Structure 1
Amino acid sequence: MSIKKGMGYGLGFLAVYLVFVIAMAPAKKLVALIELPQDVVLHGVDGTVWSGEAQSMSTSNYEIKDVDWSLSPLSLLTMSPSADVNFGRSPRIGPTGNLTIRNDHPYVGLHDADIKIEAGRIVNLVTLPVDMTASGLVSVDLQTFITGKEICTEVAGDITWQQASVNAFDEEVALGDFKGKLSCENNSLAITLDPDNDLGLELSVYISQRGRIAAQGYLKPGPKFPESARPLLTMGFLGKKDNQGRYRIRI
């Protein structure tokens, strides 16, 4: 056997051995070596890097239960590692869904995500001009979400709020359904609402790198505007109508 061939076999054996060691290593030890985003913590990690789970993943103000993942061996051959991830117990207590995490050089990308969460969970995270609660199911269909130095580099997806309703000033108001598009604008994640809705609401919401949420748009009550919500227009927190009959919204 030539020296060159012997070195080739030796390097091949070493590569297989390293893959085996990584594959069988406890996931919690490998997670400890990974620099997670700021304020993100995994709790109760178990399993291996190929197939593992965490009891929860938390940030400074939120928690996702029952996270598990499965790494694709085939993706390693294409030098673009990817893992299928499932999370959550019920939309009523937190986000649930599934997605694929992939190394989209030089960034990390989320693909083919299907996420659901109760609307009230989202409202609790936002500072609003009036106290209100919300109900209905929010669904996110995310084809691509690539993040880098900014919160998003590339985004393509849709968001739907089904059977939406809010309760403000002890008044329960059914709002119908809302649909929107996801995109990147000025280094922020943007949600642009489809103006074809019962409220006559035209709104864009922006989420920045630090989690700050801003929104701007207009509310123009039309024939489908809920009658139970009309008294809210006279309370003044939306200001006065402009010459086109619109109330300006800015958060």
Structure 2
Amino acid sequence: MSLFSKIVIGVIIYLVFLLVYLPANWLVSIAPLPNNVAISGAEGTLWQGQASLVTIDKRQIEQVSWQLSPWGLLVGKADIDFKIGNRATPVSGKGSISWSFSGLRANNIRFDLPDSFLLAGARLPFKTQIDGDVSLMVEILEQGKPWCEQLSGKLFLNNTNVKNQYGVYPLGNISLELSCLDGQLKIATDETQNVLGLTGSAILGESNLVKVSAKIKPTDAQPKDLREALSFLGRQDSQGYYPINYQGVVPGL
């Protein structure tokens, strides 16, 4: 073997080891992160590492770990398994994400987090305060236009309590089905998935346009303030339902 061949092989081996052991903390230090994002306590490598804290605006996510498959990069995609927190942390989650030139794909995603994390101190209309927890479960998500090509999942609003200048509304537990309809995000529920007598759906389309088509009827389990406010929605139909219809841009999006 010639000296030149030995040098080339040596350089290749060096580059392979350099890539395999590329430190996560160095990558974080040179990454062009947005001004509202900060990562601290990064350890491990690009392929398997963790960060003790990720801050996004006023939101904090603890104990983020990941595994990046090098084999996927050979065919032009990044396959990442991630885990966030545990039962003792406010926010927890896990799942698998794959990114390629065709878009994002996610499998077996689960997130558990409090409403306070989502709102992050935001000032809501009518001095509204919301307490409770959210659980998101996604079996499969495939990016499409405008939002999705495929989606199957559930969103649980747990022990939800709403309070504003008009009253107090303990809404309890609400289960929502997530799906994809002609590329649009669809969220649906019915009376078997909540105690509010609520049935219907909301569809998020292009330009953040949302269309709500639902109905609600009085039930004994409804908060008193909510039951008394139903008449403001309009006239009841023959089955005792009040209409809930809206079409417009989602505030804040």
Both structures adopt the same fold (TM-score exceeding 0.5): yes
Contact kept, 8 Å, 1:42 with 1:54, in 2: the verdict is: no
1:103 aligned residue (82, 99, 110): 99
2-structure distance, mates of 1:87, 1:233: 40
In structure 1, the residue matched to 2:20 is 23
Aligned residue type for 1:136: G
In structure 2, the residue matched to 1:178 is 174
RMSD of aligned Cα (Å): 4.1
Q: 1:20: how far off?
A: 2.1
Going from structure 1 to structure 2, the CA distance change for 1:74 and 1:26 (only over 3 Å counts) comes to same
Q: Give secondary structure in 2 for the equivalent of 1:233.
A: helix
Aligned residue type for 1:51: Q
Going from structure 1 to structure 2, the CA distance change for 1:18 and 1:108 (only over 3 Å counts) comes to farther
Contact kept, 8 Å, 2:62 with 2:89, in 1: the verdict is: no
2:197 aligned residue (181, 197, 200): 200
Contact kept, 8 Å, 2:58 with 2:120, in 1: the verdict is: no
Unmatched tracts of structure 1, length 5 or more: none
Contact kept, 8 Å, 1:205 with 1:216, in 2: the verdict is: yes
Equivalent residue runs for 1:136-155 within 5 Å: 136-147=132-143, 150-155=146-151
Q: 1:166: how far off?
A: 2.2
Contact kept, 8 Å, 1:102 with 1:110, in 2: the verdict is: yes
Q: Is the counterpart of residue 241 in structure 1 residue 235 in structure 2?
A: yes
Going from structure 1 to structure 2, the CA distance change for 1:184 and 1:150 (only over 3 Å counts) comes to same
- What is the number of residues matched between the two proteins? 242
Equivalent residue runs for 1:187-226 within 5 Å: 187-196=183-192, 197-206=194-203, 212=208, 214=210, 216-226=212-222
Going from structure 1 to structure 2, the CA distance change for 1:10 and 1:247 (only over 3 Å counts) comes to farther
Q: Cα deviations across residues 56-110 of structure 1 (Å, max 9, x unaligned)?
A: 44556755343221224565678754222122467985x4211112235622322
Q: Give secondary structure in 2 for the equivalent of 1:117.
A: strand
Q: Is the counterpart of residue 118 in structure 1 residue 114 in structure 2?
A: yes
Aligned residue type for 1:83: I
Contact kept, 8 Å, 2:215 with 2:242, in 1: the verdict is: yes
Going from structure 1 to structure 2, the CA distance change for 1:32 and 1:152 (only over 3 Å counts) comes to farther
2-structure distance, mates of 1:40, 1:247: 41
Q: Cα deviations across residues 39-63 of structure 1 (Å, max 9, x unaligned)?
A: 7735226231022233444556755
Contact kept, 8 Å, 1:91 with 1:117, in 2: the verdict is: no
Contact kept, 8 Å, 1:178 with 1:194, in 2: the verdict is: no
Contact kept, 8 Å, 1:218 with 1:249, in 2: the verdict is: yes
Contact kept, 8 Å, 1:50 with 1:70, in 2: the verdict is: yes
Going from structure 1 to structure 2, the CA distance change for 1:25 and 1:49 (only over 3 Å counts) comes to same
Aligned residue type for 2:46: V
Going from structure 1 to structure 2, the CA distance change for 1:56 and 1:145 (only over 3 Å counts) comes to farther
Aligned residue type for 1:54: A
Aligned residue type for 1:19: V
In structure 1, the residue matched to 2:64 is 67
In structure 2, the residue matched to 1:169 is 165
Identical aligned residues as a percent: 22
Aligned residue type for 1:173: Y
| Greater per-residue strand proportion | 2
Q: Give secondary structure in 1 for the equivalent of 2:235.
A: coil
1-structure distance, mates of 2:65, 2:149: 26
